[in-house]
Structure formats: C-alpha cells, structure tokens
Amino acid sequence: MINETTIRARYAETDQMGIVYHANYFTWFEIGRTEFFRTFGLDYRELEEQGVLLPVIDVGCKYKISAKYDDEIIIKTKLIKVKGVRLEFNYEIYRKKDNILLAEGYTKHAFVDKELRPVNFRNKFKELWNELKESVEEI
C-alpha cells in the first residue's frame, strides 16, 4: 500500500532564495508516516497512550531537485519492512504540478516502551501487526 499526502511548501520552510531547506524533507517524511498510520485508524498519540513509541533509528534522504516556496508537494509513503521490533518506510517527494521526483528517502524505527525497551508489537497488537504486514510494499 502506498499512502499519498499532499501539502504545500510554506514560506517558513524556505531559505532566502525560496528553496525548501533540506532538513524539512525529514519533517515531510514524518507527515507521510503519520498519515500512513491514520489509514489503519491509528495515530501516534494512540500508540503512545498504549505505551508504544516509534523512535527513528536510521534515516536518509537523496535530493534530486529543489522544492520551492508554495509548491504543492505529494508525499508518497510505503512500508517496506516489518520484522521483529523494527519497521522501515520509504518516501518519495513529488512536485504536484509536473509530477517531478524531488527527493527520496527512508526511515527505520523500533517499537519501544517509554523506557526505550523493545516492545513485542506483534503480540500486543496482533490485528494491527497483521494489517501492517499485509501493507508491506516490496521494492
């Protein structure tokens, strides 16, 4: 399953030349990931309230073409791996008006509790675990 989220590049996300600052792509990844989870009827707040955190343990981004102020941006998010206490997402960032790929990246996460100890998500949330497994997109 690939989730698509559309946002608009805000002025505060750009530099003096109107180009989106590189670190903002990681925020866009988070937006895509949050919306991905919403498709399962679950948000991060609910996970946290149930004692599960998803810290980023690895992240990367390859920039192709700069996004600019006021561009409509499409964030394509796909889950590519769920195994044990880890999961991995891939992202593609497109400019909506011409469907040009601007950047691609990934984040890796671990299911942990508030003390940062691993959580057996599969046992704690069996139904959601199965839905996540079924949504994995092979790359």
User: Which residues are catalytically annotated?
Assistant: 15
Angle at 40 between CA 38 and CA 43, to 5 degrees: 40
Residues 26, 50: Cα–Cα separation, whole Å: 25
Contact call for residues 59 and 32 (beta carbons, < 8 A): no
CA distances 61 to 23, 93, 98, 118, Å, are 9, 10, 21, 26
